[in-house]
Chains A and B, each alone.
Chain A
Amino acid sequence: MLEFSGEERQAICDTFDRVLSDNANEEALRKLIETESGFDNSLWQKMAELGLTGLMVDPDYDGIGANIQEAEALMEVAGKYLYSGPFISSCVVAPVLLQASSNLSMVGPHLKNIASGNSIFAIAGCGQSGDWTEPPTVNAIQNADGWELSGSAHFITHALTASHCLVIANEGGERAVFLVDMHDYSVPAKYQSTDDKTLRLSNITFNGTQALRLEDVGEQQIAGALHLALIALAGEQVGGMRAMFEITIQYLNTRFQFGEPIGRFQALKHMAADLLVDVESASTVARIAAQAMASGSGDSVLLTYLAAFTCADNFRKVTADAIQLHGGIAYTMEHPAHLYWRRAQTGQWLYASSDKCRDLYLLEMEAKL
């Protein structure tokens, strides 16, 4: 794995920011929301050309070989634009799970395809609970040709855009990871009617679906996959809340009532100051958690859960107050505030709920007793 300096990381982020500001700005996002897939493949291919899709793929397979710190930083940029492509599943979680497999000849081509933008991976990690820490709801059985999967998985992002899906399934009482080629998957999946229109979610029912097993990928790697997803999501939430916060502060400076900018009113100053504490705490912990995971520090898991619920809850708080601070203008669909606010609602539940992460955080703390 490569080491990146702070400047190098910043340079990647600046590049990503430029690409998104050209191709995934608010106008583009609103157009994308109206499409069936909610996915902009030409933007994805641009990201692939820049090496971003191979961010966490090993250089042996044409990737950049970066770690979760770079992923977290890039997700902050993604969050700023509410970018909703399959970056977490395909570029953060999938490469790490695939690279953990001992069968390199099987996973190698997939890693190359992720890096080149030819393949897109979804992750099926949970059932109706929406919680990756709960026992899998999909079962794997070995047959003459390999493995078959049965059962339903839920809360899958970008299932219809994905060429492949990694499924966390129960195999003889243990968790294991299986690879499904979505071209072979015959049951038509549909995107569900989400309240947050910026993100596509669906469930998939496997019914004797043919799958390959990722050799030697077990409990530890699956727990690690959740932690990766949570940190990446935390980064996205930091980006989202900072963007909404900055829009709001600007508004406090430019909106006049009673002959003055409304930022002069103490009630609003106090709200803004409180929100800054929330934004900065979230930024700090998302980055520290990423750093701890990258360096394999002993507190990594505890910090991951802390980042997860802090960023999820603060995103919610910042966007909710941002609407209030704007007044009537933010009660409209035309204003972006509700887009951020709704994404924040989604983030309360993805991978593991913020309440669950709070509980897991305390469990980690209790282990110190």
Chain B
Amino acid sequence: MSEDLKSKVEGWLDAHWDSINNRQVGTAIYDAKTWLAKVVDAGYATPTWPVKWHGLGLSSKEARVIENAFQTRGAKGWGRDRYHLGAITIFKLGSDALKTELLYELLTGPICCLLYSEPGAGSDLAGVRTRAVKDGDEFVVTGQKVWTSNAVEAEYGMLLTRTDMDAAKHQGITFFIFPMKQAGVEVRPINQITGESEFNEVFITEARVSERFIIGEYNQGWKSFQTAIASERLIMGQGITARLGGAAAGKAPALLQLAHKHGALQDPVLRQDIAQALAYRQLNALNMLRAKEEMMKNGASSLSSLGKLAMSRIQHGEARISAKILGPQVLFNETEDALNANFDGAKAYMNSIGGGTDQIQRNIIAERVLGLPKSMDVSRDIPFKDIKSG
């Protein structure tokens, strides 16, 4: 079965994807929209979803066959059922009408940005102050978001808003899928410690969103948001952000290759560090495999919430060891290896801060997985408008 699938996908790719020039066969430049539409139409963007929703109804193991074929050819558009948070959330929570209206457009466009964090609401996301006020069958949105990754490119964002100031903070939130390309949305890039500017400030002034675009229920957005954030943390637990990531199938891990290249495997102290780092990465991968099996069997796995926290230790640790392997030459951004090590050292904070900090992850694991007594949230049960802020 998977051999059939493999040759089918490969045949399809060979017919349509020009892997030498990285574009669709018969085109002069890569055009994302038309290529993505082609992939979506073939069902390869979201193979684990039902045919009705642009998928092929395949298992995740079969989906991996498709992804591999795409990846080895450098073809884009695979794995949107794993990485396109906006589409995933609409697929899981949207009504059939909303799915019909938006899913295809989302899948064939750039990924959605996440309009969650605000200057005053980071770890305490339920403290969002961006207002959405009902006006006919639309909502008028005003507020400021911050740290919004990919807001420049995004055509849609998933937006957390305050819709009831008198309710307790978790009760007065509404979650939208929000059109970014409209008057009243201003995006200002922020320079990041990695040298990138992928996240932004987003100023929203009387922008509009249809009430059809509510994800879940009005004033019950916190609940639907939990689904979206869980998907995000699952992705981060796989550690896709660092340059020096895990190993491609059958290849030696990147850290080991670096150590080998620079003769560090002769050093008994570094050997210990490297072995431990590789072990942390492998143990996490094994845990995540087990989580996947448990999910398939039981629909849920408590292990899945450990991955993102584990990945922080892995990424910070590997970056430090890379620096040690390079020695003082790491001070100079003059080689690819030094650039990568310095980039990864900074980027590791994306994992340990973004998507919920390590401290918050530990609280979640302790309280939701272990069932330890919840810590006090003095702002939990009072009307939102009475909460103290710094």
Contacts and interface: CB of A to CB of B under 8 A. Distances in A.
A192 B332 contact: yes
A250 to B, nearest CB: 12
A195 B342 contact: yes
A10 interface: no
A324 interface: yes
Chain B: interface secondary structure?
mixed
Interface string A222-264: 0000000000000000000000000000000011111111100
B329 to A, nearest CB: 7
B323 A267 contact: no
Interface in A315-369: 320, 323-324, 327-328, 330-334, 338, 341, 345-346, 348-349, 353, 355
Nearest to A197: B333
B369 interface: no
Contact of B378 (A196, A254, A260): A260
A259 B379 contact: yes
A353 B328 contact: yes
Contacts of B380: 258
A155 interface: yes
B388 interface: yes
A257 B352 contact: no
B146 interface: yes
Nearest to A202: B332
Interface string B113-151: 000010011111001000000000000000000110000
**Most interface-central of A201, A327, A333 (chain B CB within 10 A):** A327
B349 A331 contact: yes
A257 B123 contact: yes
B278 interface: no
**Band of interface residues on B:** 35 or more
Nearest to B124: A257
A4 interface: no
A328 B146 contact: yes
Nearest to B387: A259
A333 B192 contact: yes
B328 A267 contact: no
B327 A256 contact: no
B302 to A, nearest CB: 21
A130 B328 contact: yes
A328 B147 contact: yes
Interface string B355-390: 001110011000000000001011110000001111
A46 to B, nearest CB: 29
A333 B193 contact: yes
B349 A193 contact: no
B31 interface: no
A194 interface: yes
Interface in A97-138: 128-131
Contact of B327 (A130, A265, A334): A130
B377 A328 contact: no
B328 A261 contact: no
A349 B349 contact: no
B359 A331 contact: no
A338 B122 CA distance: 20
A331 B193 contact: yes
Contact of B334 (A192, A331, A345): A192
Contact of A256 (B338, B359, B389): B389
A268 interface: yes
B22 interface: no
B191 interface: yes
A267 B192 CA distance: 26
Interface string A255-297: 1111111100101100000000000000000000000000000
Contacts of A194: 331-333
A332 B191 contact: yes
15 contacts: A193-B334, A195-B331, A255-B390, A259-B377, A324-B352, A324-B357, A327-B122, A327-B123, A328-B117, A330-B193, A331-B193, A346-B331, A348-B323, A353-B328, A355-B324
The 8 closest A-B pairs by CB, nearest first: A259-B379, A256-B390, A130-B328, A333-B191, A349-B328, A257-B124, A338-B193, A195-B342
Interface of A: 128-131, 155, 192-196, 201, 254-262, 265, 267-268, 320, 323-324, 327-328, 330-334, 338, 341, 345-346, 348-349, 353, 355
